[in-house]
Structure 1
Amino acid sequence: MTQTDTFHYPPELLELLIGAIPLLNRSKKSVLLFFRGAGISEKLYKDISEKLDADKDSINKYEICRTILTRINEKTDTYIRERRELLKRVVEFESFTNCWETDQYKAKGLVSEIRTIVNVKDTFTRMKLEKESIQAKHSEIYSKKVEEIKKRTELIEKTKKEFYALFSITNPQERGKKLEGVLNSLFSIYGILVREAFTRKGDNGEGIIEQIDGVIEIDNQIYLVEMKWKKDKIGSEDIFAHLGRIYHRTSAQGIFISASGFADSGIIASKEALVNKAILILTDLEEFVNVLEYDKDLTQYFKAKIRKAIIDKEPYSKP
């Protein structure tokens, strides 16, 4: 980053930092140590430290961050180095296991957004260079390819933000519906053919007799997709219910996506299904986080999981 990149925090970046730093540090004292480690002078938060010593409940982590960040942001010329170092520490933050467990996904989402803003300047620079290269080569094919990459990158970033936003939604129905949409978008971006959620009605007027969250196609193989966002781990009951849908379709296989992981009974049920030549891939929502964070190819990731299930009889693998 150049000096001008961190000369002054714009409002959007300031608010993201105020939201992220408290999540990256478990305690109020840890927040102060975070600022101290970034080289922020103690005089800027001495009053806050004294206030905490007198009454630890007098101020929360977010108020601490807002106060200190506002102070270093107002002194535009004075704290350039400190702002640069503070931003560097947030952008390079990796040990999210040190956060409270309930804050980890939200913290990852905020840090990801901050990284995006910090990299915007470099991104536009790269795009400009690519455009100049295209003009020099007079290549329509190259121009089209760059545009496709740009659009795909934008789609991934948009979907990534929508994905991380799910973890702040408290309404289960709203969250589940949006989860389907986000995951379908991700599958589409990586070239996986998708048929979105649908219901099947009985032939004799019974109404809806079956509901399926989605269907995807990988290497010409159909996979019925089930998604669950439960408090507890997914057990054999949910696994058997999804296997029932698979068994009633010729040559169909399945993918089960869980936000809460899988219980031993669920894993065992999926392994036993392999005996009947039914492949049911078990996937954590956390795996999608890793795919997004480390820019992995989602298609290749699932192909590796499928190979692991078929060859090693391990339906719950994390390549």
Structure 2
Amino acid sequence: MTQTDIFHYPPELFELLIETIPLLNRSKKSVILFFRGAGVPEKLLKDISDKIETDKDSINKFEIARTILTRVNEKTDTYIRERRELLKRIVEFESFTNCWESDQYKAKGLVAEIRNIVNVKDTFTRMKHEKENEQAKHTAEYNKKVEKIKERAELIEKNKKEFYSLFGISNPHERGKKLESVLNSLFSIFGILVREAFTLKGDNGEGIIEQIDGVIEIDNQIYLVEMKWKKDKIGGEDIFAHLGRIYHRTGAQGIFISASGFSDSGIIASKEALINKAILVLTDLEEFINVLDNDKDLLQYLKTKIRKAIIDKDPYTKP
């Protein structure tokens, strides 16, 4: 119901106005003045006003009210202001002593009933507007969420392509710099707090092609992350080196990412660390590809691996 609808008199209100206006005005001329005071155009009043002057007994106050109200109510858009003003004058009417004494109580009752109808309509209008505003708010929020999901999906797709492209890069340093960017972006996309950005370290000697280190936070726990892209599988020596960094940071745990897998000695070294209350989760680079290809949540995936390491003493599980 719009504001216009409130002042376009429905049948029940229309009939009440026809009964009320004559009671609020003692004479036929007073009824005309009441409408004139509300801004009703003279062209809607003149023929009735002339009739009162020439043959006042040919029409009564109720017929006057019905005729003028019908004219005012016929054109929805034209007389909005006049309909509004008429209602305003009635609901704010207080001088019932100006009515005929025999009409006062009835006039008060009718005005009260009109006030109630107007208030109810106003209430429903406000409720409708509030509902529409709430719906608009929900729609905006929904669209915002959809847009975020779309943007996230686009970022994941971009990240996936960049991950795939790593395997086609032969230059170790170039590949390492790109991997650095991919890891930082990937953790950010999945809401994993990167405390220290992944950066390229090390050199090209001793079979190490590149080494990437960073620090992330999962469930308020700090994890030192090391990524190595070697020709051979990661063995115990590399695992113990990373464990040394973990032991030197109070309360820290670790994640080791390998592009070439882990040897038996590397897995055993990680299991032994669990005995000493140090968590070192082993992850293949291909697992990240699997997460992206199958629309998995990287954060939940890592949480599952961490729980498996703690509960099952298995640092190299693949959920």
- Give the TM-score range, shorter chain: 0.5 to 0.7
Tell me which residue corresponds to 2:241.
Answer: 241
**Are residues 1:317 and 2:317 paired?**
yes
Please show how residues 164-203 of structure 1 align to structure 2 within 5 Å. Answer: 164-194=164-194, 195-197=196-198
Partner of 2:27: none
Query: SS of the residue aligned with 1:213?
Result: strand
Q: Are 1:161 and 2:161 counterparts?
A: yes
The answer for the alignment partner of 2:253 in structure 1 is 253
How far apart are 1:137 and its partner, in Å? 8.2
Query: Does the Cα contact within 8 Å between 2:176 and 2:212 map onto a contact in 1?
Result: no
Task: Mark the CA change 1:181 to 1:199 in structure 2 (over 3 Å): closer, same or farther.
Answer: closer
The structure with the larger Rg is 2
* Superposition map of 1:27-38 within 5 A: none
Relative distance call for 1:286 and 1:237 in structure 2 (3 A) is same
The one-letter amino acid of 2:292's match is: L
Q: Percent identity?
A: 81
* Cα pair 1:213 1:227 within 8 Å, conserved: yes
* Deviations 1:180-228, CA, capped at 9 Å, x for gaps: 221221111010001203699xxxxxxxxxx971111111100000000
* 1:77-101 superposed Cα distances (whole Å, 9 cap, x missing partner): xxxxxxxxxxxxxxxxxxxxxxxxx
**Structure 1 counterpart of 2:287, one-letter code:** E
The aligned residue for residue 282 of structure 2 is 282
1:36 maps to which residue? Answer: none
The one-letter amino acid paired with 1:262 is: F
Q: C-alpha deviations, 1:106-126, integer Å up to 9, x for none?
A: xxxxxxxxxxxxxxxxxxxxx
* Total equivalences in the alignment: 176
Q: Deviations over 1:47-101 (max 9, x none)?
A: xxxxxxxxxxxxxxxxxxxxxxxxxxxxxxxxxxxxxxxxxxxxxxxxxxxxxxx
After TM superposition, the runs of 4+ consecutive aligned structure 1 residues lying more than 2 A away are: 135-138, 197-200
Report how far residue 176 of structure 1 moved. 1.7
TM-score w.r.t. the length of structure 1 is 0.53
In structure 2, distance between residues paired with 1:309 and 1:191: 22
Separation in 1, partners of 2:143, 2:274: 47
Partner residue in 1 for 2:152: 152
Post-superposition shift, 1:276?
Answer: 1.2
Tell me how far apart the structure 2 counterparts of residues 275 and 311 of structure 1 sit (CA, whole Å): 12
**1:253 Cα offset (Å):** 0.3
User: Given that residues 306 and 315 in structure 1 are in contact (C-alpha distance below 8 angstroms), is that contact kept between their aligned partners in structure 2?
Assistant: yes
Aligned partners of 2:183 and 2:198 also within 8 Å: no
Q: Is the 8 A contact 2:212 2:227 kept in 1?
A: no
Contact 2:184 2:198 in 1 (8 A): no
TM-score of the superposed pair, with normalisation by structure 2: 0.53
Gaps of 5+ in 1: 1-134, 201-210
SS in 2 for 1:305: helix
In the alignment, the residues of structure 1 paired with residue 240 and residue 223 of structure 2 have an alpha-carbon distance, to the nearest angstrom, of 16
Deviation at 1:268, TM superposition (A): 0.4
